[in-house]
Amino acid sequence: MTHAMNAPRSYLFVPATRPERFAKAIVSGADAVIVDLEDAVPASDKAAGRAALRQWFGSFASAGKVPLYVRINAADSEWFRDDLALCAEAGGALAGIVLPKAEKVEDVARAASSAAVLPLIESARGIAAVQALAGAPRVQRLLFGAIDFALDLGIAEEREPLLPYRSQLVLASKLAGLPPPVDGVTTATGDDALVAADTQYARRLGYGAKLCIHPNQVVPVHEAFAPDAAEVAWAQRVLAAAAAANGAAIALDGRMIDRPVILAAQRIIASQTQPI
């Protein structure tokens, strides 16, 4: 299990058919990199994508520094078996497998035979099974694919319609002892303000990371997950008041400072330890 404080805040996608971008993704500042064999690779190029990734595995020297993941093709696809075989070859170079359209525990188990699994919830069947998927062996973290999910349900890809489903991943993650889930992509690659706003919204819901499709999105994502100056100042005041009280009941700004408030303040201070 990955501790929440050490879990990545950003996962940067790079297409498997663009090997010239692999090393650039590793040094982009993203907390983790996902080489994509699924949506970013057309059917005619699946074999070429696997070949490029296989060759890079042999020279991958950053294992242990930036976690490397592979998004394979879905379990019901013709490429699933070959993708899994490739991941098994990677050995210690691979931190885990992103399983798209995750819906069945048995499919997670098949993927888990090769590496740890990050189920990507992006369908009605996936959300219906989310607690079972979260509790499956070798599941590392849940991911939410908002675009495909909205398409599957026939709802608007907007915050309000997706809210109850996003929250289910937060609950399932907590119950399974997983780190907070990972929110889906923001498709605008040149709008830092929108990326930040989407990330801040996900953070308020209980998410701990975001999928990125461009290196430019990494910094606004990291900044959005960091506590702002007002939050830090409040947390410092809470902890100072609690220490001065020496266990006695106290109030600050008209609010009782009890154990949940102190824990929230400690969490804010602790979250400052991750670099932007």
- Return the amino acid letter for 26: I
Residue 42 near residue 73 (C-beta atoms within 8 A): no
For 266, the token pair is 């400690």
Name the band, by pLDDT with cuts 50, 70 and 90, for residue 176. very high
Strands 250-252 and 96-99: unpaired
> Average pLDDT in the 60-76 region?
82
- DSSP one-letter string for 207-268: --EEEESSGGGHHHHHHHHS--HHHHHHHHHHHHHHHHHTTS-EEETTEEE-HHHHHHHHHH
Please tell me the distance from the alpha carbon of residue 214 to that of residue 193, in angstroms, as a whole number: 14
Residue 57 CB-half CA count within 13 A:
20
Please tell me the distance from the alpha carbon of residue 149 to that of residue 163, in angstroms, as a whole number: 12
| Residue range 120-150, pLDDT digits in tens | 999 999 999 999 999 999 999 999 999 999 9
Whether the predicted pLDDT of 235 surpasses 80: no
Please tell me the distance from the alpha carbon of residue 159 to that of residue 19, in angstroms, as a whole number: 35
pTM: 0.87
| Residue range 82-132, pLDDT digits in tens | 999 999 998 788 999 999 999 999 999 999 999 999 999 999 999 999 999
